[in-house]
Amino acid sequence: MDNFEKIKAVFLDIDGTLANSNREISDINKLPLKRMKDKGIFVVLCSGRSNKDVCEYSKQAFASDYAISSNGAQIYNYKTKKNFYSDEVNYKDLKAVWEFCEKNSLELVLNAKDVQYGNKVFCSDMYKDKIIINDVQKLKGIEIFQIIINSNKYQELHECENFILEIENLKIANYSREYIAKQMNSKEPYYMFVNSKSTDKGIAITKFLNEMNIKREEAICFGDRINDITMFNSCGNTVAMKNADQELKNIANHITLSNDENGVADFLNKYM
């Protein structure tokens, strides 16, 4: 087992990693995170979720004041209420995606600094609190960090995927497992997360480490999905959950218990 005494930063994905299947962080997982923070180690949640969500989870988990959200497009200090770093989707590309989703009745959710905007289509209960926008021009001048597209029909999302891939400045950061597996009758909506090509979790973590003068080998991260691969590439120590995508497990230094078995706490309590 590696020597973790020099670790100065811990980065954690939320869904499927730190949080259980009920999207809750257990007290068992919270305790070692508080211990890490009290030792002066940065404990930073790094998720595809909105900034508001990541900040709320961070406070629950006794993590540090920094939150990495929208797959790395925003690093926010919720103590100073300022962006540490941000990379927004440009309006031209946003407008093109908006118009495609409106034409094809796809749910569109947009991560902004403190809120989520979206169109009038609803597929997922996760976004019931989004602010409805009827005219995309109202979003001019508003920083949008990530586009989330949901559909109840596989083929509709597949057509949208092909459309996104033709846009030069955008990339798809993550898909639902059901979509990747081509499950044609999923009970849950299919989704994909879309970002600017110039951002991902790994880029955000590297910027954070450089600013804090922390070496790559002094950082450890935990994840479960393919959008965590860039995060793994930016940290010297990597831990995949037992429930992780196989592609992530293949490159991980270590594999811990699943998110429903408090795998984060199990690893930290054993080795840190």
Q: pTM, whole model, 2 decimals?
A: 0.95
| DSSP letter (8 states) at residue 105 | T
Ranges of H-type helices in 168-225: 177-180, 201-211
* Band (4; pLDDT cuts 50, 70, 90): confident
Q: How many CB atoms lie within 10 A of CB 8?
A: 17
Percent of the chain with pLDDT over 70: 99
For residue 239, what are its two tokens?
């831990």
- Tell me what pLDDT residue 124 has: 86
Amino acid at 226: I
pLDDT above 50: residue 164: yes
Place of tokens 């890490």: 36
Q: What is the pLDDT of residues 22-47, one digit of tens each?
A: 999 999 999 999 999 999 999 999 99
Which of 14-18, 65-69, 124-128, 132-136 has the lowest average pLDDT? 124-128
pLDDT in tens, 235-272: 999 999 999 999 999 999 999 999 999 999 999 999 99
Q: What percent of the chain has pLDDT over 90?
A: 96
* Residue that has been written with the tokens 């749910």 in this structure: 107
How many C-beta atoms lie closer than 10 Å to residue 183's C-beta?
14
Is residue 1 predicted with pLDDT exceeding 50? no
146 sits in which H/E element: strand 146-151
User: Concatenated DSSP letters for 14-80?
Assistant: TBTTTB-TTS---HHHHHHHHHHHHTT-EEEEE-SS-HHHHHHHHHHTT--SEEEEGGGTEEEETTT
Q: Is-contact 223 231, C-beta < 8 A?
A: yes
Rounded to whole angstroms, the Cα distance separating 68 from 42 reads 12
Position 86 pLDDT exceeds 70: yes
